[in-house]
Amino acid sequence: MSKLTSQRLVWPVAVLVALLVANLMANHSFLSITLQDGNLFGPLVDILRRAAPIVLVALGMSLVIATRGIDLSVGAVAAISGSWASMHIVSSSDRTSVGVVLVAVVVALVMAVVAGLFNGLLVSVLGIQPIVATLVLMTAGRGLAQVITNEKILYPDNTPGYKLIGGGYLIGVPFSILVAGAIFALTAALTRQTALGTLIESVGVNPEASRLAGIRATRIILVVYVFSGFCAGLAGLMLTSNSTSADPNSIGLFIELDAILAVVIGGTSLTGGRFSLWGTLIGAFIIETMNSFVVIAISPRSTDVFKAGVVVVVCLLQSPKARRWFGGVVRRPTGRRTPPPTVSPTAPDTAPLSVPAISVPALDGDHTQDLETRTS
C-alpha cells in the first residue's frame, strides 16, 4: 500500500475521481454522452474540449519549469496570436476562403514562436531571471494585441475553417481535443523516447554541471521557450475560434496561472529537474472539472476559494512530510499510556579488574656493565 501511495500520480488521479463523483452527485446526467448528427456531446466532452487550451499551455510550461524557468507571458502570447488571426480574417474580403484561414493561422503561430524565442534569448543568452524576462512580454503583449486590433473587439464569425480549430468536429470528436492529444503525444515521444527529456531535466537539476558535461544548455532553454510560445499561440487560436470573438483584454487572461497550477498539481517541482507530462494532463483536467463543479453546485463568488482549497489538498497529499504527519496523528493511541517496565537495581560488580601481568626480563651482568658504562 505504501508503494502505491508513494507514486506521484496516485493522489492527483484520486482527486480527479473525487471531483467527477461530486459532479455526478450534483448532476446525475454528468457522465452521459450522446451522439447527435454524428458528433459526441455531453458534460465530459465539454470538459475535455474546454481543457484543450490549458493542456497545450501547461505542456509548454512543464518543459520550461523543468529547466528552472517559468513563462508568465503565455496569456499575452495567446492574445497576440488570436488577435492577429482574427484581424486578418475580419479584414479579408472572403472569410470562407481556406487560404485566408491558413495564412492567418500560420502567421499567428510564427508570431507566437518569435515571442517564445524572445523570451528564450533573454533567459539563456542575456542571463535575465525567467520571471523578469517573461514579465516584460506579459506586460507588453497585451498592448501589442490591442495595437493589432486597433483596440476593438473583433468577430471572426461565418468562417467555417477557423471555427473548426476551437469549436468544430472531426470524425465526431471536437477538433481541439484531437489537436491537444496530438501535441501531447508528440511531446511525450520527443521527451521520453529520445534524449531530449533527459537533457531538459539535467539542465534543470544543475545547469553548470550539465554545461561541464558538454550539454548545450543555451539551446535547450531556447527550445523549451519556443515550444511554450508555440503552444500558447495555438491555445489563443482555439480560444478565439471557439468564442468567435477576439478581445485583447480577455484572450488567455490568467491562463498562465491555470497552467502553473496544472503543472504543480501534476507533481512537477517548481525548482526544476524531473517533470511529468501525464501529471500535467491530469492537473489540467482537475482544473476544468473544478470549473464545471463550480457552475453546477457552488456560488460563483466562491469559485476562487474552492479552487484554492482543492489545490491545497492535492499539494498536501503529495507532500511526504504531510502524509507522515497525518499518518502519525491517525495511528496515535487515544487510551492511557502504559508506563515503561521498571528494572530492579542489582548489586554493583565489585570484582577487581584483572590486569595482565607484564614480564620484564632480568638484566644479566653484561647488560648491567653496558648500562653503567653509558651512564658514566
- CA separation for the pair 243, 86 (Å, rounded): 11
Predicted confidence (pLDDT) per residue in 62-87, tens digit? 999 999 999 999 999 999 999 999 99
Predicted confidence (pLDDT) per residue in 209-220, tens digit? 887 788 888 899
Query: What pLDDT, on a 0 to 100 scale, did the predictor assign at position 323?
Result: 65
User: Residue 360's pLDDT band (boundaries 50, 70, 90)?
Assistant: very low
Query: What pLDDT, on a 0 to 100 scale, did the predictor assign at position 208?
Result: 77
Query: What pLDDT, on a 0 to 100 scale, did the predictor assign at position 271?
Result: 82
Which residue reads 584483572 in cell numbers?
Answer: 354
Residue 249 in domain = yes
Tell me the average pLDDT of the chain.
82
Residue 254 in domain = yes
Query: What pLDDT, on a 0 to 100 scale, did the predictor assign at position 324?
Result: 72
Non-local (6+) Cβ contacts of 89 within 8 A are 95, 100, 101, 104, 156, 159, 162
User: Residue 231's pLDDT band (boundaries 50, 70, 90)?
Assistant: very high
> The domain containing residue 241 runs over which residues?
55-298
Query: What pLDDT, on a 0 to 100 scale, did the predictor assign at position 120?
Result: 95
Query: What pLDDT, on a 0 to 100 scale, did the predictor assign at position 376?
Result: 41
Residue 287 in domain = yes
Predicted confidence (pLDDT) per residue in 247-273, tens digit? 888 888 889 999 999 998 888 888 888
* Ordered DSSP codes for 199-243: HHHHHHH-HHHHHHTT--HHHHHHHHHHHHHHHHHHHHHHHHHHH
Query: What pLDDT, on a 0 to 100 scale, did the predictor assign at position 372?
Result: 45
**Contact predicate 124/217, CB 8 Å:** yes
With 60 as the cut, is the pLDDT of residue 330 above it? no
With 60 as the cut, is the pLDDT of residue 320 above it? yes
Query: What pLDDT, on a 0 to 100 scale, did the predictor assign at position 297?
Result: 55
Residues forming beta bridges with residue 34, ordered by sequence position = 41
With 90 as the cut, is the pLDDT of residue 368 above it? no
Looking at residues 133-142, what average pLDDT do you find? Answer: 92
With 90 as the cut, is the pLDDT of residue 174 above it? yes
Residue 317 in domain = no
- CA separation for the pair 53, 58 (Å, rounded): 8
With 60 as the cut, is the pLDDT of residue 20 above it? yes
Query: What pLDDT, on a 0 to 100 scale, did the predictor assign at position 292?
Result: 74
Helix (H) or strand (E) holding 3: helix 2-5
Residue 328 in domain = no
- CA separation for the pair 222, 124 (Å, rounded): 7
Query: What pLDDT, on a 0 to 100 scale, did the predictor assign at position 150?
Result: 87
Task: Give the other-Cβ count within 10 Å of 74's Cβ.
Answer: 37
Query: What pLDDT, on a 0 to 100 scale, did the predictor assign at position 343?
Result: 54
Q: How many domains does the chain have?
A: 1
- For 201, half-sphere exposure in the C-beta direction (CA atoms, 13 angstrom radius) is 14
Residue 346 in domain = no
Alpha helices per DSSP H over the chain: 2-5, 10-26, 43-66, 74-90, 98-120, 130-149, 160-167, 175-192, 196-205, 207-212, 217-243, 255-265, 277-297, 303-318, 320-331, 365-375
With 70 as the cut, is the pLDDT of residue 300 above it? no
Looking at residues 271-283, what average pLDDT do you find? Answer: 89
- Of 138 and 335, which is predicted with more confidence? 138
With 70 as the cut, is the pLDDT of residue 178 above it? yes
Query: What pLDDT, on a 0 to 100 scale, did the predictor assign at position 371?
Result: 40
With 70 as the cut, is the pLDDT of residue 374 above it? no
Query: What pLDDT, on a 0 to 100 scale, did the predictor assign at position 209?
Result: 80
**Contact predicate 283/215, CB 8 Å:** no
Residue 50 in domain = no
**Contact predicate 226/211, CB 8 Å:** no
Query: What pLDDT, on a 0 to 100 scale, did the predictor assign at position 15?
Result: 86
The C-alpha cell that represents 274 in the structure block: 524531473
User: Residue 133's pLDDT band (boundaries 50, 70, 90)?
Assistant: very high
Strands (E) in the chain, as ranges, are 34-36, 39-41, 169-170, 173-174
Query: Which amino acid does the sequence have at 292?
Result: S
With 70 as the cut, is the pLDDT of residue 199 above it? yes
Query: What pLDDT, on a 0 to 100 scale, did the predictor assign at position 105?
Result: 94
Percent of the chain with pLDDT over 90: 40
User: Residue 6's pLDDT band (boundaries 50, 70, 90)?
Assistant: low
Residue 288 in domain = yes
User: Residue 154's pLDDT band (boundaries 50, 70, 90)?
Assistant: confident
